[in-house]
Amino acid sequence: MITQEVIGDLFKKKILLSRDISQGRLSFKELSIIEIPDNFLVLNKDNFSLLKRDKTINWQSFDGLRTSFELGNEDDYLNFLSSLEEEKIEVIKDSNSRVDVIQMYKKKTKKYEVQDFVRYFIKRYKGIEAILRNRQELQEVISINRLLQKREKENVSIIGLVSEKNITKNGNVLLKIEDLTGLINVLVSKNKGELFQQAKNIVLDEVIGVVGVCGDKIVFVNSVIWPDIPLTQELKKAQEDVFVLVLSDLHVGSTNFLPEEFNRFLKWIRGEMGDEKQKELASKVKYIFICGDLVDGVGIYPNQDSELVIKDIYQQYEECARLLKQIPSQIKLIIGPGNHDALRLAEPQPELPKDFAKALYELPNATFISNPATVKIHEQEGFSGFDVLVYHGYSFDFYYTEVESLRMGGAMDKPYLITKFLLKRRHLAPTHTSTLYIPDIEEDPLIINKLPDFILTGHIHKPGVANYKNITIVAGSCWQSKTSFQEKVGHEPEPGKVPLINLKTREIKILKFM
């Protein structure tokens, strides 16, 4: 069935399009001027270009092609259309599968000096301080230098970075915190009950607010204020049933990789397995996030060769690409790296390197991001979309080990507890030794400045779901059975479990492919 459509009128000329309903395609029949509505996806031949128009009719392809047409520049606009005249093209409304990267680390590496770490922590302090100053309890903050000059007891509030933490012989928590003007002791009495328990969770190098009574070069704490997530965070919901899948830690190339289980997942996502209801769910999946560790890597730990079925890093990525290529191309893949991937360990990690992962970059539906990164999905007319923070989670091991409440609360089996802990601090790795990092002197890219709607993680090899002040926390599982290292430390992974997020209801199901 063929129908005729006219899609717009610009410069008082029109272009006639014909729609082949059976094939879902549009083709140019007559070259003239067309105004394509916002957020249409133009697919031509082997690649695709997302063209977005702003108020000056500025067309941008996020694949690298950038062509601009000022309003009224008819010749340039006609030249653009001429380049498409002979091609069979597909034009579809891009309302269900749009991906925009809004925060991603792309800076080039350089040689760092000791002073760069000082500057980095100053940026850290200023970034978190700006968040804390919005808190009602910290409206009358004074500098530590001024506080040290006070001789009378009075109520005070300060903001500082925790440089030391000790338990006194009387069992109190004694901190040293510093701002840009000085350093002072603050004490939390063991008799303070809940406050004392909170103080035990304080970690080095995080930035906090303190409200209390000043003494002789000391503050007796009445409350500790974290930057945290405001209660005003909106709980967004999409207008229709659209689903997101969260994958993590594929570890392709490992002798412990689970090919049968992963192929079972691939069959389901292609609609080749499951009952009618399960196939319907698969048909509504528009986005798949992969939160790092796509391959097992080479030389990641001593004697790793004995645990690899694919010992060449290029071949590991080629095999990974072969698997991911089987996912329907209309589903967007958002791919970030992890600590097993072929790039630096220091965070932020850039996107996967093209020289090693060339085969992955040939996937037409893949968007590559840094670790961490924030992307916006499902933006459409009348809806601002969802902001999704993706972090592999390499710092998680440190906090599970060092923070008693997380360790005793079973955070290794409930990774969302660690994510909540970090959201409260508005930082993905506040302690200096919790992860390797790049001491960026312009900003601390691990600060959670932009509040996400979702935060997706991996690394722990266990799925988990929680909500924290209207931020949905989702941990992916893995596609690798228990390793010898996990056996030694008593860690029980849960492979083959895939969180499925309904963007309309914000409900999450865990699909099992084991």
Structural domains of the chain, ranges and CATH numbers in brackets: 2-94 (no CATH), 133-225 (2.40.50.140), 238-512 (3.60.21.50)
pLDDT of residue 109: 80
| Region of residue 95 (phi > 0: left; psi between -120 and 50: alpha; otherwise: beta) | alpha
The predicted pLDDT at position 75 comes to: 55
Range of weakest confidence among 91-100, 180-189, 300-309, 389-398 = 91-100
CB 355 within 8 A of CB 396: no
Span 275-293, mean pLDDT? 95
DSSP annotation of 376 reads: E
Mean pLDDT of 76-89: 46
Region of 262 please: left (phi>0), alpha (psi -120 to 50) or beta.
alpha
pLDDT for position 394: 96
In this model, does residue 81 exceed pLDDT 70?
no
CB 225, CB 465: distance < 8 Å: no
**How far is CA 445 from its chain centroid?**
12
> For residue range 446-470, what is the model confidence (pLDDT) as tens digits?
999 999 999 999 999 999 999 999 9
Q: What is the sign, positive or negative, of the torsion defined by CA atoms of 200, 201, 205, 208? A: negative
Give Cβ neighbours of residue 345 (< 8 Å, ≥ 6 apart): 339, 394, 436
Mean pLDDT of the chain: 83
Among 22-26, 78-82, 212-216, 378-382, name the one with the lowest average pLDDT.
22-26
* Mean local confidence (pLDDT), 272-281: 92
Separation of alpha carbons 405 and 223, rounded Å: 19
Are residues 228 and 134 in contact, defined by beta-carbon separation less than 8 angstroms?
no
pTM value is 0.81
Q: What is the length of the chain? A: 514
Higher-scoring residue by pLDDT: 38, 488: 488
Asked if pLDDT for residue 3 goes beyond 50, the answer is no
Which range, of 56-60, 146-150, 179-183, 485-489, averages the lowest pLDDT?
56-60
pLDDT at 55 over 90: no
| Structure tokens that stand for 353 in this block | 């390197």
The pLDDT of 219-237, averaged and rounded, is: 94
C-alpha of 276 from chain center = 32
- Provide the pLDDT for residue 485: 82
Which whole number is the average pLDDT over 327-345?
Answer: 95
Per-residue tokens: 2: 């063929």
pLDDT of residue 319: 97
Q: What percent of the chain has pLDDT over 70?
A: 81
Cβ neighbour number for residue 506 with a 10 Å cutoff: 17
Residue 224 · residue 240 · CB < 8 Å: no
Are 10 and 70 in contact by the 8 Å Cβ rule? The answer is no
Q: What is the pLDDT of residues 350-387, one digit of tens each?
A: 999 999 999 999 999 999 999 999 999 999 888 899 99
Single-letter residue type at 265: F
Is it the case that residue 77 has pLDDT exceeding 70?
A: no
> Does the pLDDT of residue 201 top 60, yes or no?
yes
Encoded tokens for 78? 């006609």
